Amino acid sequence: MFRYRILFSLVLISKTLFAQTGFYNIDSIREIRVYFNEPNWDHLLDSLYIEGGENRLLCSVSIDGANYDSVGIRYKGFSSVSVNRIKNPFNIKLDYIINDQNHRGHNKIKLSNVIQDPSFLREVLSYEIGRKYMPCSEANFANIYINDTLWGLYTNVEAVNKDFLSKHYSSRENPFIKCNPEHLNLNGENSNLGDSPGTDSSSYYPYYDLKSDYGWSDLYSLIDTLNNFPDSIENILNVDRTLWMHALNYALVNIDSYIGYAQNYYLYKDNNGRFNPILWDLNMSFGSFRFTDASLFYNGFNINEAKTIDPLSHVNSVSVYPRPLIRNLLTNDQYKRMYIAHLRTIMEENFTNQDYYNRAFYFQALTNIHVLNDTNKFYSWADFLNNLNNTVTDLIDYPGITELMNPRDSFLANYPGVLGAPIIDSINYSPQNFTLGDTVWINANISGASTVLLASRFASNERFVKKDMYDDGLHNDGVANDGIYGGMILNSSNNIQYYIYAENDSSGRFSPKRAAYEYHLIQNQLGNGDVVINEVMSNNETTVADQSGDYDDWIELYNPTFSDVSMAGLYLSDDSSNLKKWPLPDQTIASNNYLIIWADKDSDQNGIHANFKISAAGEALFLSYDSLSIIDSVKIPELAADIGFARLPNGYGPFAKHTPSFNANNDFAENYELFNIKFKCYPNPSKNKIRVQYEMNTSGSLKLLNIEGKTLIDQKIPLGNQTIEIDTHKLKKGIYFINLYSNTASLTKKIIKL
């Protein structure tokens, strides 16, 4: 199936955001048709739900006219499912039987039945707002048909899975945890990251769902640090991202979350070793769920109280059950001011300016006829039209979205810490033309601040480093106390990402407002020689495996400079007519260090994987910004198995065939042309005998080793074109290695004994 690359767009000079494209385009109503062979499919799905677990019913699916067979389907969620309902939510797994089967790059489709929301707007609108400030699922609407009968209009929400992680964190195999208890306890702690279960990580199994191959000890380390060493929490938690999550939940009165009963969020540990919270399940935002264990509202709160619910309720009041992810962070005064600054930004950018209403009105017009045609919806069409502005009463009262949010905006606009924030403007940097390793100064005109911080990094895979900015006349800031602050970035890279935070004793402000998810950007292009293609292997049989155990083509880049170099904006390609074939990840290569790219088209694996392979018969390879800015290229010849094509001397010399020096200095490699060894082993796999055919211009030796490295056979061999037969019938089944040695080099082949 086709995979669509996520497109990037710059927001001013800030962080690139993922655009809504393809399957989750908000302007399109998707059509998903599910076909079952069993006439009692609904009973079978009910039974699977009652049994629990991950079993699915087989079906076929058509998505906007694209057909898929051998698909697995089950119900999604807990409170939104009932065997007594017609319209239940669905979880569709396209690759349930057929590996890699996907629709536009998505192998899992999650469809919500829009219960608890007469407006049909809450989930899609909330995710759209959330995506401005942190990685969030994309979401739109879809008409679902079952055996060609319209089942209803659903919300179609992007799964938080390994593909989501790859897109937002450039990794997918690190500790990944869904924070939902096995059984929600309205009188318990649930997934609150409290440490009351004790020091044994297995005690936390009932409260968290591990989605990765490992991570329980990592989760406990986070819990222990959060509860017992909160001053060190930034080492293990993305605090800024956590503050954004809390601000979003309180702004949108999304109480069915951590701030209510401590559930409905994920945690993912990025390559910097910090956990990142990820929002999930926003269908009851805008006050549809109104229960929390903060003491003031232990028995729930009404719509009028929702308008003024305190965004510091777990700090200013008593939590019946611990909420350390809020309380232990916001007892830090600076974190509290940052949190309120984020809350101000959310309200100003979405509610004060009425943008949320314009978007909600647009979604309502988009879905109007589809809601009317949905005969299985839980509320009337009149309720749908009415709930944008007015309360709809069913089993509970569902507040009108504008009825709730306009007064809430007024309440929060005057909340302590929202007013009186410093003003940041006239941001610039010097020198305007800097090179790698230069000191770069950031200046800004700031008023009303007692503390100013400059946070900077050189790539998105790094942490921001915070330093003070000064108005003392000693930091490239003009005259002391003139309102111009200066801060420096040492040993700069070609790519600088930064933001400024200023505060006084009551209020704080960021620039840009959406920091740290967005940031200011200074970008210079690298010159020839600042980063080079250093080595290529196009016929990797046994040299080195990638993170998934596959022996694939690889490309080694090298940074010969004395500074970090950023790959942002660079491309690799094997096609001179399409030099922007594959964008390199936004990360740095440290001075005198290497970066390995697997050229195997396996973008769904951990590590860095290009979208092309290298022909063993030979082809060209280009490193460039675009067609006018090629900074390195190489013409790769035909290569024998396990031979590298590398620069010697390392980093700047001409290319030649060498023994491979994967992720290391080429100066210690042996020139392949000097020893000219060629050999193959056949049949491979083998049952009784294996033949080693070789061509070597010096005498040498041959060794047979088992997988533990123990030598089983060691014999001298003559030069020339020879064939040697090895008896393998007494060997146990498994993997072995044949090494061929000369006085200048050695080569290894993997063999399999059947």
* Most trustworthy range by pLDDT among 31-35, 573-577, 649-653: 31-35
Is the pLDDT confidence value at 721 over 90? no
pTM of the model: 0.86
Q: Which residue do the tokens 């260090």 mark?
A: 593
Domain end: 675, 709, 732, which one?
675
Question: Do 633 and 686 belong to one domain?
Answer: no
Contact partners, residue 354, CB within 8 Å, separation at least 6: none
Rounded CA gap, 363 and 357, in Å? Answer: 10
Closest CA to 600 of 589, 592, 609: 609
CA 188, 227, 467, 440 torsion-angle sign: negative
Question: Do 589 and 577 belong to one domain?
Answer: yes
- The string of pLDDT tens digits covering residues 591-648 is 999 999 999 988 778 889 999 999 989 999 999 998 779 999 999 999 989 989 999 8
Is the pLDDT confidence value at 549 over 90? no
Residue 91 within a domain = yes
What b/e string do you get for 27-54 counting C-beta neighbours within 10 Å, with b at 16 or more?
Answer: eebbebbbbbeeeebeeebbebbeeeee
Rounded CA gap, 178 and 217, in Å? Answer: 15
Mean pLDDT of all residues in 87-113: 95
Residue 130 within a domain = yes
Domain hosting 634: range is 532-675
Question: For the chain, what is the domain count?
Answer: 3
Burial of 611 (0-12, 13-18, 19+ CB in 10 A): middle
Helix extents (H) in 319-426:
324-330, 333-347, 355-373, 381-386, 401-413
Answer for the pair 70, 107: CB distance below 8 angstroms, yes or no.
no
User: In Å, what is the CA distance from 455 to each residue of 171, 235, 312, 520?
Assistant: 24, 15, 26, 10
Rounded CA gap, 285 and 257, in Å? Answer: 9
Instruction: Tell me the percentage of the chain whose pLDDT exceeds 70.
Output: 95
pLDDT at 17: 37
pLDDT at 141: 98
Residue 739 within a domain = yes
pLDDT at 148: 97
Is the pLDDT confidence value at 12 over 70? no
Residue 490 within a domain = no
Rounded CA gap, 694 and 678, in Å? Answer: 5
Question: Do 579 and 704 belong to one domain?
Answer: no
Predicted confidence band at 324 (pLDDT cuts at 50, 70, 90)? very high
pLDDT at 740: 78
Residue 597 within a domain = yes
Question: Do 667 and 708 belong to one domain?
Answer: no
Is the pLDDT confidence value at 710 over 70? yes
Is the pLDDT confidence value at 678 over 90? no
pLDDT at 607: 85
Element at 479 (helix H, strand E): none
Domain end: 675, 707, 736, which one?
675
Contact partners, residue 696, CB within 8 Å, separation at least 6: 675, 676, 677, 678, 679, 717, 719, 720, 722, 740, 742
Mean pLDDT of all residues in 683-712: 83
Mean pLDDT of all residues in 355-367: 98
Question: Do 643 and 552 belong to one domain?
Answer: yes
Question: Do 726 and 593 belong to one domain?
Answer: no
Question: Do 661 and 708 belong to one domain?
Answer: no
Which of 5-14, 28-37, 165-174, 245-254 is least confident?
5-14
pLDDT at 85: 92
- What is the pLDDT of the chain when averaged over all its residues? 91
User: In Å, what is the CA distance from 666 to each residue of 318, 654, 670?
Assistant: 63, 11, 9
Sheet holding 440-447, edge to edge: 423-430, 440-447, 484-489
Look up the CATH number of the domain holding residue 711.
Answer: 2.60.40.3080
Look up the CATH number of the domain holding residue 553.
Answer: 2.60.40
pLDDT at 744: 54
Is the pLDDT confidence value at 658 over 90? no
pLDDT at 5: 25
- The string of pLDDT tens digits covering residues 489-523 is 999 999 999 999 999 999 999 999 999 999 999 99
User: Omega into 324 within 30° of 0, i.e. cis?
Assistant: no
Sheet holding 689-696, edge to edge: 678-682, 689-696, 720-727
Question: Do 76 and 132 belong to one domain?
Answer: yes
Domain end: 616, 649, 675, which one?
675
Element at 458 (helix H, strand E): none
pLDDT at 323: 94
Question: Do 48 and 87 belong to one domain?
Answer: yes
Contact partners, residue 616, CB within 8 Å, separation at least 6: 538, 539, 638, 639
Mean pLDDT of all residues in 687-705: 83
Rounded CA gap, 505 and 688, in Å? Answer: 81
Question: Do 657 and 607 belong to one domain?
Answer: yes
Residue 259 within a domain = no
Quote the Cα angle for 214-215-221, to 5°. 155
Is the pLDDT confidence value at 540 over 80? yes
- The string of pLDDT tens digits covering residues 454-465 is 999 999 989 999
How many CB atoms lie under 10 A from the CB of residue 228? 11
Instruction: List phi, psi (to 5°) of 334.
Output: -70, -45
